[in-house]
Amino acid sequence: MQKFAPSLLVVALGVALAGCQDNDPQDEKVTINKNPYPSTYKALKSTTTLITNATVLTGTGERLEEADVLLVDGKVQQVGKDLTAQADLTIDAQGKWVTPGLIDVHSHLGAYPSPSVESHQDGNEMTSPNTAEVWVEHSIWPQDPGFNRAREGGVTSLQILPGSANLFGGRGVTLKNVPAHTMQGMKFPDAPYGLKMACGENPKRVYGRKGVLPSTRMGNMAGYRTAWIGATEYKRAWDKYDADYAAGKNPEVPHRDIKYDTLRGVLEGEVMIHNHCYKAEEMAMMIDLSKEFGYHAGTFHHGIEAYKIADLLADNGSCAALWPDWWGFKMEAYDMVQENVAIVDAVKNSCAVVHSDSDTTIQRLNQEAGKVMYRANDNGFNISEQHAIKWITSNAAKALGVADKTGSLEAGKQGDVVIWNQNPFSVYAKAEQVFVDGAKVYDRYDDTYQAQSDFLLGQK
């Protein structure tokens, strides 16, 4: 009788058991719902609208004089001169200007709403350096009067971000700026999620005071790397589970962690990075970090020193969302030039964006871009209105991953349109009519289209 060594018996038994396990009936497949809070946004009823005789800035770099814009079924159907159409509504815009709806890529409306009271301050989960598990949409109060004020300034889409106290602040969400009673009723359908990250002074100050990592910039980097290592392992576990299940096996389900769900989404290219970062060397490090772990560094916000690495940003395909003239309010915001946006913009394949990060300047985003154009041209640049409008329309749409849907007046794009009383970069410019998906949502001279927050009803 043949005898086996004890070790060989153990191996043989393990193989036999593994074979039995692989042949067991499969449990029900576990699938993570990546969109558990879907948009319920429905475009308002629109009519066929023909806007005529306007100066049109298309958002693609074109300027058309005495031109027309035709909106049909909520979309731009045609832009050109002397258009003819059977329109339900014809608007003579002689002497006026028409642009795409403005887009603010960095807002805290709804999460830090008005009135600014402690019970409404829901934008910063300052309890851990990594709060990638939180979603700012769960803090948004759609009755914030700031949404209406922004709409009156021509803003038709905006990204709401959590604050910048943490290395990973959580998910942002893109909204259509329409009156609604729920966040889901404003949620931009199919817009990618964003992940808010922050480098520099904020996280090291907040957590250094608590005596936990990070308290230095090297601590910031260590915190990012530790998180991405964990995310990589999490992704590997779920990928293996999916592959084994597809192969007919009955694998054990990995542990679910909503923090790593978000980071895994970044690694899979489904969630876009939006990084609060001021200093040139830190933005460069964040690009290196993204290459180490195989994701895209996304858009850099605030970027006071972006002008120093404009070529690096363009080479990496990173947008830079910047202020025209905010600077000096802390050390990392000190080395500013007011041509920052224009210098970034001057590099081939760049993506310069003007953002607000403010509940007041969002109301005049057009004039924020106008500041940049004036200061740059005063210092030797030659920037036209048809180019500058891209900073708050098509480039902003690119930063949010919705450039195929909005941001320019092109056939097939959403009918997000603003009619201005004059050159939108003038200090005297006012939005007279605003359309979202072809439906009028604001009219300066008709209070039927001047929505008010329920919070303000009955107040003087």
Q: Which amino acid is at 272?
A: M
Alpha carbons 404 and 397: distance in angstroms, whole number: 8
Alpha carbons 55 and 372: distance in angstroms, whole number: 21
Alpha carbons 213 and 284: distance in angstroms, whole number: 22
pLDDT tens for 359-411 read: 999 999 999 999 999 999 999 999 999 999 999 999 999 999 999 999 999 99
Q: Which of 40-54, 161-175, 313-327, 446-460 has the lowest mean pLDDT?
A: 446-460
The whole-model pTM stands at 0.94
Alpha carbons 239 and 215: distance in angstroms, whole number: 35
pLDDT for 16 beyond 90: no
In this prediction, residue 23 has a pLDDT band, given cuts at 50, 70 and 90, of: low
**Residue 302: other Cβ atoms inside 10 A:** 24
Alpha carbons 16 and 276: distance in angstroms, whole number: 54
- Which has more pLDDT, 413 or 11? 413
Of the candidates 426, 230, 427, 400, which has an alpha carbon nearest to the alpha carbon of residue 416?
Answer: 400
Are 200 and 241 in contact, with CB atoms under 8 Å apart? no
Q: At what angle do helices 217-246 and 201-208 cross, to 10 degrees?
A: 100
Of the candidates 190, 171, 183, 174, which has an alpha carbon nearest to the alpha carbon of residue 265?
Answer: 171
The residues that bridge with 78 in the sheet, in sequence order, are: 70
Are 272 and 299 in contact, with CB atoms under 8 Å apart? yes
pLDDT tens for 66-115 read: 999 999 999 999 999 999 999 999 999 999 999 999 999 999 999 999 98
Burial class (CB in 10 A: 0-12, 13-18, 19+), 102: buried
Are 221 and 282 in contact, with CB atoms under 8 Å apart? no
Q: What is the 3-state secondary structure (H, E, C) of the chain?
A: CCCCCHHHHHHHHHHHHHHHHHHCCCCCCCCCCCCCCCCCCCCCCCCCEEEEEEEEECCCCCEEEEEEEEEECCEEEEEECCCCCCCCEEEECCCCEEEECEEEEEECCCCCCCCCCHHHCCCCCCCCCECCCCEHHHHCCCCCHHHHHHHHCCEEEEEECCCCCCCEEEEEEEEECCCCCCCCCCECCCCCEEEEEECCHHHHHHHHCCCCCCCCHHHHHHHHHHHHHHHHHHHHHHHHHHHHHHCCCCCCCCCCCHHHHHHHHHHCCCEEEEEEECCHHHHHHHHHHHHHHCCCCCEEEECCCHHHHHHHHHHHCCCEEECCCCCCCCHHHCCCCCCHHHHHHCCCCCCEEECCCCCCHHHHHHHHHHHHHHHHHCCCCCCCHHHHHHHHCHHHHHHHCCCCCCCCCCCCCECCEEEECCCCCCCCCCEEEEEECCEEEEECCCHHHCCCCHHHCCCC
Alpha carbons 177 and 187: distance in angstroms, whole number: 9
Round to the nearest angstrom and report the end-to-end CA distance of the chain.
Answer: 100
pLDDT tens for 150-208 read: 999 999 999 999 999 999 999 999 999 999 999 999 999 999 999 999 999 999 999 99
pLDDT tens for 279-311 read: 999 999 999 999 999 999 999 999 999 999 999
pLDDT at 456: 87
